[in-house]
Amino acid sequence: MKKVSKSIASARYHHGDLRRALLEAAEKAPDLEQISLRELASGLGVSAAAVYRHFDGREALLAELAAVGIAQLTERFADAFDLNTPPADAMQAIQRLHRLGVAYLRFADEQPAMWRLIFGVHAAQTRANALQKSEPTSYSYLPAALQGLYKTGVIAVPPAPGDLLFTWSTVHGAAALRIGKVAAAQGEVEHVGAEVVQRILRGIGAHGL
């Protein structure tokens, strides 16, 4: 990245702007977990000391970036369906699970480095904090989707923790394989999502599948 003079940088990154600029620059890196604060500073034309006024180390920056990524994934899930509106029927319940799966796969396709970060060790505390929150988080959507299947009769019994783990593991595995360019997982994301969801439904005992 092109360097700028210290005076220009000082003018550009005032009143907290540098913190945001660091996060935005880091988000564009191909390998977030190997990122260097000094390289970020150099790319933005500021001193390393300026960076350390905002983050006391690489781990702190990655933890905050993971929080950003989890929020981005939550937004995608919110676009998939409304947590406060139950599915009207079995078809809509299945469609909600499909949209959720596609949102997950598409996030991994479009932001593979961020996807790896939010499910890696640097995001452990952020994930733990999300699970403890009373308001909806990215972890609220899959249980809601499975409950919707039960409420509309797609599955006969309430989803167990094992059903949640099986469903998440299946979609997560497909996302990882797509990132790794494994041939079996490639293809149009809507189609792959539909195939994955059909197998999930059979795996958790959906009627007529």
Q: Angle at which helices 17-27 and 58-80 pack, to 10 degrees?
A: 70
List the CATH number of the domain containing 31: 1.10.10
Q: Which residue has the tokens 């005076």?
A: 7
Domain assignment present for residue 168? The answer is yes
**Contact at 8 Å (CB) between 68 and 75?**
no
Say whether both 126 and 175 belong to one domain: yes
108 CB neighbour count, 10 Å cutoff: 23
Please give the chain's pLDDT, 209 residues, in tens: 334 344 444 445 554 588 788 888 888 877 777 777 777 877 787 877 777 777 887 788 888 888 889 889 999 999 999 999 999 999 999 999 999 999 999 999 999 989 998 888 877 877 777 777 767 788 899 999 999 999 999 999 999 999 999 999 999 999 999 999 999 999 999 999 999 999 999 999 997 65
Considering the entire predicted model, what is its pTM?
0.83
159 CB neighbour count, 10 Å cutoff: 20
Domain enclosing residue 27, as ranges: 6-56
Say whether both 46 and 95 belong to one domain: no
Spatial separation of the C-alpha atoms in residues 81 and 193, rounded to whole Å: 16
Q: How many separate domains does the chain show? A: 2
Say whether both 158 and 188 belong to one domain: yes
Would you say how long the chain is, in residues? 209
Say whether both 105 and 131 belong to one domain: yes
Domain assignment present for residue 62? The answer is no
Domain assignment present for residue 208? The answer is no
